[in-house]
Each structure stands twice: as C-alpha cells, then as structure tokens.
Structure 1
Amino acid sequence: MSNNVTLPEQQGPEAGTAATREPLLAVENMKMHFPIYGGFPIKRKVGAVRAVDGVDFQVFPGESLGLVGESGCGKSTTGRMVTRLLEPTAGKITYSGRDITHAKRRELAPIRSEIQMIFQDPYSSLNPRQTVGTIIKSPMEINGINPPGGREKKVRELLELVGLNPEHYNRFPHEFSGGQRQRIGVARALALEPKLIVADEPVSALDVSIQAQVVNLLQKVQDELGIAFLFIAHDLAIVRHFSHRVAVMYLGKIVEVADRESLYTRPRHPYTHALLSAVPEVDLDTEHKERIRLAGDVPSPISPPSGCRFRTRCWKAQDKCATDEPPLVQISGNKEGHLTACHFPEAPSIEARVEDVVMDPALAALEKDHTEG
C-alpha cells in the first residue's frame, strides 16, 4: 500500500483543505491465527482459527479510522494486535516509522505511553477495589511520569476534561453509572497524553442517550488534543459521525475502505451495501430503502471459503469469485483512495442517502448539534 494519501488538514471528522501526511500507524498483511489442538494422548495442531487473515490499513496523525463489520469478523483482535496485547502470527505493524510487530517488552516500553486503549465493557475494565484516582493515576506511576503539580492534580484535571467532578477522585467504580465509568476509562487512556487511541466498541454496552454523550466526548478530545483513533464498532451511525475514513471488515479481511462521505453515499462492495441497508431509518417521511437480506450464515474462520470470502452469501457471485481472491484496489468510478475488494462491484450510480444512516433520534440530535455548532 502507498504511504501517502489525501486527508483533511483540520482535526475532527469534517473535511478541510487537502494535505499529504505520513502515517502514524501502518499495518501490512497482518494475520492472527489461533491454533487448534487435538489428539490423544499426544496433542498436536490440527487447524487454526483465522481470526485476522491479512489486513492492510493506515491511521494518520489526528484522524479517526472506523473499523466496522459483523460480530466475529476480527475487529477486536485487530485492535489488540495494534496495541501489542496480542502478537501477530504474520505481517508488519509500523508505528511512527518503527517496526513493532515482534518488539519485546523492553523495546515496547518507550512507546506504550503513546498507544492507549479504551475497552468495550466499562463494568469489567475498571478494578472495583481501586478508587478512581488510583485507576487513572496508575499509568503515570508505572511509567514514572510526574506531571507539574503532581499526579493527583493531573487526575483531577482529567476528570474535569471528561465531564466528571474532580471531587470524584476518592470514589469507587461501583458508585458510577455505565456512561460515567466509560468516561473514567477515557480519562485513564488520556493520562499519558497518547498519540493513538484504540477504542474497542467503547459505547456498545451503553444506553443510546449515553452513547451520544460518550461519542461527543471522544470527538471533543480529538478536536482539542489532536489524538488519532482506531475506532472499532458495529454501529454504522456512530462510525459515520466520528470517523474520517471507514474500513469494512468481513471474516478477517478488509473488503472496502474509503473516506466517510464516499463510503456512505457510494458503497461499491455488496457486503457494504447489505450493512447500510440494514440500518433503521428515523425519518418516517423518507422513502424506505430496500433491505438486503444475506443468505446463509457467516462461514467458519477455521475453513473460510476459497476466493472471495463473501461469495457464499453474495447475490452477485460468479465462478471467478470461487477461484480468485479479489485484491483491495481502487476500481473504475471510485473516488481517489476508495478501495474495494470485489470482482463485480456495485454500480457507482447506486447511492445510499447519508441522512438515512442514523440509528437513533439521540444520535440524530447529536449530529444536528454538531453541524449547527
């Protein structure tokens, strides 16, 4: 993949004047195969779960890349490899020009503070036996960081930044709601002033009204601090609101990647069309889109289909799809940087209305407030 793409100069989701940048994070042909062992009395490897099977993407300074797809497609595994909580089976991960694919613990120490993670479940990701102050302060203690004014002052500033009362410093996680706990998780991720945050479905466990608050908070943090995000989610409405670019993942592969406007208005891969057609519409006066119902079940990652992995559920599949795996490339009619992995892509004239892709009135109101602001 090329290391230069066109991106907006300004921070946040809205596009501005084009500029060329070097990637903060670059992933090339990254794979994660979990071995399966069987046999008795001597166990041996009999197969592997191909959770991630060769993905390529880049995240640039100050941008948000949304990673979407059905449950089980490998999104969270991808995020954990980027943060090196998991070591890839194959491929290459480059951060700030440095190869960290198989870096050892001591080699990773200098960059641990620059790559942080927001976990999916705000209830299990916080230690119930520690106070909020201790939870947020721990990363600074582990990395030997002593900010001006002391760690406690820094923690109280972070609590205020994420919309919590600084007096909550001595409270325990069980005293907070789900949305407040996720804000604590955001504050912990910001404690070391990272350059990249991997947000692993950070709002999926929250009520919709709280989702809007947390997404708004993350956008505020990105706008003010210029932090890059790998934003993992299955909610297309939230991804649309937050991300500059979007990558669509299916069964361990990225099948389409484009800037937000291009992907939501001119999707080319049949799987992307199916995902967008499944999003409920809020505006009752809008003509309803035809729902695309996929046939069959998602194939097993232990033995994925040959050729195109989506072919077993695709209404456009032909013989070629079973023998040749389609490359992720720019095809005729695509906007620059809009990549699709399909032998028979949808016609560019078939468009999805961006305003239809809203999951809930609370998110619609959030989008309206952001636009007017």
Structure 2
Amino acid sequence: MAHEATIPAPRDKAPRPGEVLLSAEGLTKHFPIMGGFPFKRRIGAVQAVDGIDLTLHAGESFGLVGESGCGKSTTGRLLTRLLEPSGGRLVYRGQDITRAGRRQLAPIRPEIQMIFQDPYSSLNPRQTVGTIVGGPMAINNINPKGGREHRIRELLEIVGLNPEHYNRFPHEFSGGQRQRIGVARALALDPKLIVADEPVSALDVSIQAQVVNLLQDLQRELDISFLFIAHDLAIVRHFSHRVAVMYLGKIVEVGDRDSIYQWPRHPYTHALLSAVPETTLFHASADGDDAPPGPGRIRLAGDVPSPISPPSGCRFRTRCWKAQDKCATEEPPLVRVDGSRDGHLTACHFPEDPTTERESEIILDPALQELEGGHAGPDVTAGQETP
C-alpha cells in the first residue's frame, strides 16, 4: 500500500479576501484505453486534461468555458478530488492534496463542494429532500445548533424553497427546484469553494436566470468562491470575475471578465465570442460604458480533434486561420503577450490584435461559402488566406 502524506486539518478561520484558495500546477488526467485479450493491455489514453495551471482566490467567481468534450467537467472533478490526477500538483490553502487519501482529505472535504449538471440524476429518488440535504451533515457527524432538521429547513428557505417541502421526494419538484435542492446540499457544510458543473445547462431558459442569480447572491452574501463551468458565454460573463478558456484539455486564455470579452487575444476565444449574438453577449459593461461591437462571424471547419491523439504543438492549429509551421512544432506557453492587461494570459504564437472588431466575416469551411451564395470578405481555409 502506498504511503499517504499526512495532511493537517484546515484552519478554522475563513480565508482572507484575495487569498489563494486553490491552485493547480500542471494538472493532468489521462484515461487509459485497454485492448487486446482479455483487455488487460493499455493501448492508448484519452488525454482529457493535459497539464493545466489554475489559481482560484477566496471570494471570487471563476468561469471555465469551452466546447463540449474539452475537459471542463473533468477539471472540476479533479479540483474537488472526485477524480485522481494522473499528474501535476493540487494545493488547497497551502496544503498539497494531490495524493492525499480518503482519511487525509476528510477535514478538507466539507470546504470543497460540488453542484452537478443534471438535477434529475444527482438526487436519490428514494430519499426525501430532508435526507438529501442533511446527508453531508450525517456523513460528517455534524450537529448544528438547533438540530439538523432546523438547519435543513433553513437551507431550503435560503435557496428559495418552502421549508415545508422537507418530507417531499425529488419527483415532486421541477428541474429548477431540484437544482435548488442540489444547491442547498452543497451549502450544508458551509463550504469555502463550490464547483458548479454546468448547473443550468439542463434547465429551461426561463429558469436559468433565476438559478444563476441565486448562485450569485449566495456567492456575494456568504463570500463563497465559485468555479463556474459552462459553455454559455453570456451566463459566464454575468456570473464570473475571471474567465479561463479551455480547448482540448488545455487552457488557451485566462484573464479578467472585461479583458477576455472585450479584448480577446487567442483566435479560439475570438471564434467562441463570434458565435454568440451581439445583443446577448455585448451588453453594457460593468462600469456603465458601452462595450465594443462584437467580432465578425468565425465558423470553424471540422470537429475538435480526438483527445486520444491530439495535434502536435498548438492543439488549435488544425482549425486556426493564423496557423504557421511554428504552431506544429512548438507548443505555445500560457504567458502575457504585448498589449494585454496584467493577469491576461494567452497561449498563442500569433495572438490576435487586442480588439474584437472585424471588418468582415471569416468562413473557414469552403463548403459553407457555397451555402452563403458567395463570400462577404476574406475567406480563410486551411490556415492560409485566399487572395
């Protein structure tokens, strides 16, 4: 049996605002692919997360965006230690928890909670709401002042549910109400950090805003740090202080909200922003000034490459209109490029100009040009500009 490092109990006092709460250095998760007979030989690996660096501060909301299959959810489960990392380092409040075992993680578990994507499958249909929300307290043998039932009813009221719903079952609630039950369960142990894995993607659009506003109110009132994982850029902008953009297991750009949305530097970030209607995304900025106009349309050709055999060098190069030979041989580091704000990091050898304005649309797939009945500006195919 491998020796497990001793992890001291976390400090009782709350973290100071701005203090580094959780950091990941070179965090990696590869899922083995077994083959042969009788399926005991490893023939490859799915590189779901491949060496990412993240830093979460106390009291902040951090957004993680990207296409489906880029590794966002796997990253969330690694940060909560629901998955064992294949490599890298994970530090929580100064304590290395990368290889900590179940016993060593016990005092830290209550401080890091998770809200799952599907409000239907994440709740036990055979348990009442009271049992579901009180489960974390029972597991950790916590008896709050006034008793568990009093605390559970209080949590239900905090998330906007009737305390009298204590004895009801999940099937008696709508999707939005079930997600509120999941939020109440995550709050049961007074966590310092909540990882919300696409908490509104399975809900009706009319309900999404209510749940996001609830999470935002909780983050502000209880001073909880959030890692908000989503593919909806408009929601992430509304909720997050800082944003990281992920592509095929890598972080390609990270910065504060205004910097990412108004002055993106990575071509992939430009493509993501161009896919969102301007009326949805480019609303008035936080300081009241009008945000700049959105980028022209950028439609990427093909699908995301397989994480089993990702491209060499820059992983986005096979779909990038700025790709050159260097992009195939050298992996770009995540660094601050000229013209970027402090803390705005980009992994690109040939970053975009610090503006989202474009004079015309870019179509990367030649087949789309015929559907458009011609082209409305410079068409870019195979990474080279067509004269």
Q: Which residue of structure 2 lines up, in the alignment, with residue 108 of structure 1?
A: 105
Going from structure 1 to structure 2, the CA distance change for 1:311 and 1:101 (only over 3 Å counts) comes to same
Which ranges of structure 1 fall in alignment gaps of 5 or more residues?
Answer: 1-18, 353-373
Letter in 1 for 2:237: R
TM-score, normalising length: structure 2 = 0.84
Q: Does 1:227 align with 2:224?
A: yes
Q: Which residue of structure 2 lines up, in the alignment, with residue 345 of structure 1?
A: 351
SS of 1:337's partner is coil
Going from structure 1 to structure 2, the CA distance change for 1:42 and 1:73 (only over 3 Å counts) comes to closer
Deviation at 1:290, TM superposition (A): 2.0
Q: Does 1:177 align with 2:151?
A: no
Q: Which residue of structure 2 lines up, in the alignment, with residue 314 of structure 1?
A: 320
Larger Rg: 2
Q: Does 1:71 align with 2:77?
A: no
Counterpart contact for 2:294–2:356, Cα < 8 Å? no
Q: CA RMSD of the aligned region, Å?
A: 1.7
Going from structure 1 to structure 2, the CA distance change for 1:298 and 1:126 (only over 3 Å counts) comes to same
Q: Which residue of structure 2 lines up, in the alignment, with residue 291 of structure 1?
A: 297
TM-score, normalising length: structure 1 = 0.87
Deviation at 1:37, TM superposition (A): 1.2
Going from structure 1 to structure 2, the CA distance change for 1:348 and 1:100 (only over 3 Å counts) comes to same
Counterpart contact for 1:268–1:347, Cα < 8 Å? yes
Q: Which residue of structure 2 lines up, in the alignment, with residue 207 of structure 1?
A: 204
- Runs of 4+ aligned structure 1 residues displaced above 4 Å come to 286-289
Deviation at 1:22, TM superposition (A): 2.9
Deviation at 1:289, TM superposition (A): 4.6
Letter in 1 for 2:225: A
Residues 173-220 of structure 1: CA deviation (Å, up to 9, x unaligned): 000000000000000000000000000000000011100000000001
Describe how 1:91-130 pairs up with structure 2 within 5 A. Answer: 91-130=88-127
Deviation at 1:316, TM superposition (A): 0.2
SS of 1:110's partner is coil
In 1, Cα distance between equivalents of 2:324 and 2:159 = 51
In 2, Cα distance between equivalents of 1:130 and 1:349 = 52
Counterpart contact for 1:266–1:351, Cα < 8 Å? no
SS of 2:149's partner is helix
In 2, Cα distance between equivalents of 1:295 and 1:316 = 14
Higher RCO (CA-CA < 8 Å; seq separation 6+) = 1
Residues 229-273 of structure 1: CA deviation (Å, up to 9, x unaligned): 111000000000000000000000000000000000000000000
In 1, Cα distance between equivalents of 2:39 and 2:188 = 48
Counterpart contact for 1:115–1:197, Cα < 8 Å? yes
In 2, Cα distance between equivalents of 1:257 and 1:268 = 10
Of 147, 150, 154 in structure 2, the residue corresponding to residue 150 of structure 1 is: 147
Q: Give % identity.
A: 78
Q: Which residue of structure 1 lines up, in the alignment, with residue 162 of structure 2?
A: 165
Describe how 1:359-370 pairs up with structure 2 within 5 A. Answer: none
In 2, Cα distance between equivalents of 1:31 and 1:312 = 23
